[in-house]
Structure 1
Amino acid sequence: MLRFTQKILLIRVALALLFGFSLSIQATDAQSVADKIDHYIQTRMAKSSIPGLAIAIVHNDRVLLSKGYGVTSAKTPVTAHTPFAIASLSKAFTAMAIMQLVDAGRISLDAPVVQYIPSFATEDKRGKSITIRQLLHQTSGLADTGFPELAFHEQPATLDEATAQFNQARLVSEPGRQFHYHNPNYRLLAKIVEAVSQEPFANYLQKHIFEPLQMTHTNDVSATKAFYTGADRIDNGHIFVLGKPIAIQEPDWFIDGAAGMRSTVNDMAHWLSLQLARGRVGNTQLLSQQSLTLTHNPPPKTSMHYGMGWILRPDSSLYHSGILWTYSAEQLLLTKDGYGVVMLFKSGLNPYVDYNSFLRGVAEILAGQEPELPTLPDWVLPICVGLILLLFIGLTIRQLFRLKHWVQTYQQRPVWRSWLYLLVRLLPFITFLLIPSLLIAISGRVLNWERIFLMIPDGVLGLGLIALLNLAIVVTRVVWLFDRKRI
């Protein structure tokens, strides 16, 4: 009997050593992966104009990496505790608030909005049939082309005012038929949370999501100007001019429900772990597994990929980005492997900056692959484009002062060719005026000139100057033609 007991004891010791050795290997592997990602980001930042970013990576409920890189606009180092505007990553939190109320039996997903907000109305009667589910999946029929909230001269100050504005909204499709990414869908959802819970939206998030998740430096604001107030105020973000980051405040915009949250990567790590833990934090089921699954998936029997604040990718990963004019954010859930990644950036929308490439590189490392690294610094392309624009400006200025040469040429060629020349010279000016319409055709988003300028200031200035110089050429030539006729 003693020998048997000794054998059992030896087996237990061996298993304990084996288990401990296995955990040690896992910890070493995790540290190796974290070191590779850290090195990758440092390498990327060395070739990037992005002034600062922070990243958090979790594996189920364990944080593998949480770190900041670069500096803020105040020239202080970015850390894992630095607050950022997380832009449209906020939508998933709004969706969770709605689904908590669904779990509580206080909201029905297929009930019309007017059941909870009787005053809700759009320009046409179809708005009365919009449901909660359609708002969550962005299939309400509302879109920027029918309700251009980004181009409004005056922004609402409260959710009540934002809801009242919908009486100007024109639906662009039947509710439930088409996907249109549209921020006001989530504004309306925030108001529904207020109406049903009888709590201010920001207070609801704080009490029912942020506090249980111990997200102590996360909060919700209603407008961008509130980003810069309070204990968790953020520094100015950045736009880019010729590849150089310029610190400015975010333009005024009402963002509650759709893009109104400030957070840190440390806090966002808790959020990602909740998603991977199927809605459970500690001993508390913060959201039912069934409701969490609904948020992660698009409507059934459709070709759509948008869930409820999440985009389902073909490889079963979940993704969403957030973009403002001075801040950007990316989050990814690799559900098969239990990884969650969030990256927050101190700079915003710009066609030359590929924020998602950072996230792709991290995902490749987590998959055991070598990430692709850029060959050239990211400021090279905007500088090259700037030089090309400068060349065209120089050539156009030269042509502007060659009126005498144009007159001599005019006298030697058919009149129709001269008028065709003038019409061609008008094309840059016409194209410049059509930029907002071209952006609508390409992206479906409606932007005013201020926001277009902030997106690519050097491009707008360069193209605008070329357009005006060509217009000046046409005007001087036409004036000469009319003066010649009088003579």
Structure 2
Amino acid sequence: MLRNTVAALFLALIPSPGHTPPQGVVSPAAVDAFVTRYQEATGLPGAAVAITKGTRVVHAAGYGHTPSGAPMTADTPMAVASVSKSFTSLAVMQLVEQGQVELDRPVRGYLPEFTMADPRAAKITVRQLLDQTSGMADSAFHEKSLPQPDTLRGAVARLKTAELAAAPGTVHSYHNTNYQVAARLVEVVSGRPFAGYLRAKVFEPLGMRYSTTIDTDRDLPDSARGHLNILGLAIPLPEPTGFGNGSGGVLSSAGDMARWLIAQNNGILSAASMREMRTPSRLDDSYALGWYVGRTPRGTPVVEHGGDLFTSTAYQLLIPQSGYGLAVMANTGMTYSDAKTLMDGLVTLVEGGHPETPSGPPYLATDALFTALTLATIALAILGTARSRRWATRHHWWRLPPLLMPAALCLSVTPIFGLLARGSDIMWIQVVYLYPTFMLWLATTAAAGIVVTAARATSLLTRTSHSHSDTGTSDSGSSGSSGENHVSAS
């Protein structure tokens, strides 16, 4: 009897699998204080934050400023990048609920224009687009480095010569083109442009007055542009060329994202459709239909998705057990992960903890190192060029080719990046945005190598020319002297 009582008490102390961790009370003042500390420590110029619980908006605010210096408010539209995938998935699921689309039927049945060079593409289903198991991948179709389309129709049309990386339904591969095809499917089935569909069926019904979706980087308003953080300084720069509608084109504000978060648990879709959207594929237990499934550091189950542009980032997260929803947008690029880091801190606040503030701007030491190397490289190039004549007296042609190796590396940086990133596609200028001070040093080293090589080669040519000239003069003088001696002897 005593043994059974002790056992019962012991089991009562063990949290059950459905146990909800204690949730802290999140006040707007605490959120403001954390975001402000973060900005002061990192130099983040602008951010927007939305926090909801159930059907209530806990907090929605803007912080800092846009690239033009305008104050960031709760109504300032910002880019949400790949968070857009959850909007595209929702649009498809609305068509599913209306009986116009079936998830497990081939895409081509709804979108005849979707053709690829690979015949296996005919078997790609709508679900496989949304859970990223279609077989399309960066390694087989270079969606970023190829000429960019202007419309969703163009995004699908350029697939006509593309191959698949794997058979449909066999491999999970995160690939933006999946969602561009899905958005085009929405256009064709609904009979209206994708932006018009989202406006009529999602944004207006939810009261998201400041939200829209765009096609390319050229359509970004000033408020949705961003910065690179170099040596602790936020430098406004245009987003590199790219197409993103369907996969990353949504613009939204803190206030609108609060409405979006509330709608995830408030009837925008049926409960069955919501479960479908949050059920991971059998090939990847973390990716569902436009959402990732994961846990907080404390083990609380969450549904989330991040978004990265080269000049801004975003993140959204739902905590189903507590009813919390959070969204963050930051106007610095993916290298710095400000939206994700802010989200981690806000989740800590929600769960009753105390978030840590970074000690300083991201990569400040790395930037300082490569800046110093760049200046040293310029100094060495000047010195090497000035001493090229002296160098030519002691060295030969075979010492020149190694100086051109940095130039070769600079030209081949994109395939090297793709190899290191397991086949990810990227443009050269996008690598510059990811690693600005490293690429500055590499480009400077490449230019320095070319300049010094040219100077030394010129010096070697001049020295060789003079040597040949001197040899010719010496031979001519020797012959003349012999002739004079011969005449004298005669």
Bucket of the pairwise TM-score, normalised by the shorter protein: 0.7 to 0.9
In the alignment, which residue of structure 2 is the partner of 1:59? 53
From 203, 226, 229, the counterpart of 1:237: 226
Structure 1 counterpart of 2:252? 263
> Which amino acid letter does the alignment assign opposite residue 245 of structure 2?
D
Shift of 1:479: 5.1
Residue 433 (1) aligns with residue 411 (2): yes
Equivalence for 1:167: 160
Summarize the alignment of residues 70-219 of structure 1 with structure 2, pairs less than 5 Å apart: 70-153=64-147, 155-219=148-212
Identify the residue that residue 303 of structure 2 maps to in structure 1: 318
Shift in alpha-carbon separation, 1:319–1:286, aligned structure 2, 3 A: closer
Distance 2:276 2:377 in 1: 53
Paired residues of 1:55 and 1:343 also in contact (CA < 8 A): yes
The 2-side partners of 1:400 and 1:336 are apart by 67
1:428-472 Cα distance to aligned partner (Å, 9 max, x none): 222212211122123333222233334444433331111121233
Q: Distance in 2 between matches of 1:320 and 1:400?
A: 52
Question: Alpha-carbon deviation of 1:474?
Answer: 3.5
Q: Is 1:330–1:344's contact at 8 Å kept on the other side of the alignment?
A: yes
Corresponding residue number in structure 2 for 1:448:
427
Structure 1 SS opposite 2:407: helix
Matched, 1:293 2:282: no
CA, structure 1 residues 448+159, in 2 after alignment: closer, same or farther (shift >3 Å)?
same
Native 8 Å contact 1:243 1:383 kept in 2: no
Matched residue SS, 1:344 = strand
Secondary structure (helix, strand or coil) at the match of 1:469 reads: helix
CA offset at residue 427 of structure 1? 2.9
- In the other structure, the counterpart of 2:320 is 335
The worse-fitting range, judged by mean Cα deviation, of 336-345 and 470-479 is 470-479
Q: Which string of whole-angstrom CA distances, capped at 9 and with x for unpartnered residues, describes residues 123-166 of structure 1?
A: 2111111111111011111122322222233x323222222111
Give the number of the structure whose alpha-carbon radius of gyration is greater.
2
Query: Does structure 1 residue 380 correspond to structure 2 residue 374?
Result: no
Q: Structure 1: how far apart are the matches of 2:112 and 2:385?
A: 61
User: Are residues 1:357 and 2:375 paired?
Assistant: no
User: Matched residue of 1:313: which SS?
Assistant: strand
Residues 263 and 353 of structure 1: CA distance in aligned 2, closer, same or farther (over 3 Å): closer
The alignment partner of 2:206 has SS state of: coil
1:212-239: CA deviation from partner (whole Å, max 9, x where unpaired) = 22212211222332333xxxx7454323
Would you say 1:253 and 2:242 are equivalent positions?
Answer: yes
Change (3 A) 1:392 1:252: closer
Give the aligned partner of residue 41 of structure 2.
47
Among candidates 253, 266, 272, match of residue 261 of structure 2: 272
Equivalent position SS for 1:212: helix
Q: What is the root-mean-square deviation of aligned Cα atoms in Å?
A: 2.6
The separation in 2 between residues aligned to 1:313 and 1:141, in whole angstroms, is: 24
| Aligned mates of 1:405, 1:249 — CA distance in 2 | 46
Structure 2 Cα separation of the partners of residues 352 and 213 of structure 1: 32
Offset at residue 44 of structure 1 (A)? 0.8
Q: Is the 8 A contact 2:128 2:168 kept in 1?
A: yes
Separation in structure 1 between the aligned mates of residue 250 and residue 158 of structure 2, nearest angstrom: 22
Alignment of 1:15-26 (within 5 A): none
TM-score relative to the length of structure 2: 0.82
Amino acid at match of 2:323: G
Unaligned runs of 5+ in 2: 1-21, 469-490
Change (3 A) 1:142 1:268: same
Q: Is the 8 A contact 1:236 1:326 kept in 2?
A: yes
Tell whether the 8 Å contact from 1:244 to 1:379 is kept in structure 2 after alignment: no
Q: Measured at CA, do residues 355 and 236 of structure 1 come closer, stay the same or move farther in structure 2, by a change above 3 Å? A: closer
Contact 1:137–1:299, Cα closer than 8 Å, also in 2 = yes
Pick closer, same or farther for the CA change 1:250–1:376 going to 2, 3 Å. closer
**Scaled by the length of structure 1, what TM-score is found?**
0.83
- Which moved further from structure 2: 476-485 or 128-137? 476-485
**How many angstroms does 1:371 deviate by?**
1.6
Q: For the structure 1 residues 396 and 176, does the alpha-carbon distance in structure 2 shift closer, same or farther, using more than 3 Å as the test?
A: farther
Letter of the 2:326 counterpart = V
Deviation for aligned residue 1:478? 4.7
TM-fit CA distance, 1:100 = 1.4
Paired amino acid for 2:258: A
Deviations 1:281-305 (A, max 9, x none): xxxx3212122122223213x3442
Deviates more, 1:119-128 or 1:424-433: 424-433
Cα displacement (A) at 1:480: 4.8
The percentage of counterpart residues that share the same residue type is: 33
CA distance in structure 2 between the partners assigned to 1:303 and 1:211 by the alignment: 34
Query: Deviation at 1:188?
Result: 0.6
Q: Which segment is superposed worse, 397-406 or 56-65?
A: 397-406
Gaps of 5+ in 1: 1-25
Match of 1:69, SS state, is strand
3-state SS of paired residue (2:329): strand
Amino acid at match of 2:252: S
- Find the aligned partners of 2:285 and 2:416 in 1 and give their Cα distance: 25
- Given residue 418 of structure 2, which amino acid in structure 1 is its aligned partner? I
Q: Distance in 2 between matches of 1:344 and 1:354?
A: 8
Equivalent AA in structure 2 for residue 472 of structure 1? V
Aligned residue type for 1:450: I
State the Cα deviation string for residues 5-51 of structure 1 (Å, max 9, x = none): xxxxxxxxxxxxxxxxxxxxx99x635x4332321111110022321
Q: Is the 8 A contact 2:106 2:124 kept in 1?
A: yes
Seen in structure 2, the aligned counterparts of structure 1 residues 83 and 303 have a Cα distance that, compared at 3 Å, is closer
Post-superposition offset of 1:199: 2.5
Q: Deviations over 1:356-403 (max 9, x none)?
A: 222111112222222222223337332343223322332343234333
Structure-1 residue corresponding to 2:449:
470
C-alpha change, 1:422 and 1:336, in structure 2 (3 Å) is: farther
Q: Which amino acid aligns with 1:101?
A: L
Name the SS for the 1:139 alignment partner: coil
CA distance in 1, matches of 2:329, 2:339: 9
1:30 aligns with 2:25: yes
Counterpart AA for 1:295: M
Paired with 1:364 and 1:377, the residues of 2 have a C-alpha distance of: 21
Write the letter of the residue equivalent to 1:298. P
For 2:198 and 2:303, the matched residues in 1 are separated by: 22
Give 1:220's aligned residue: 213
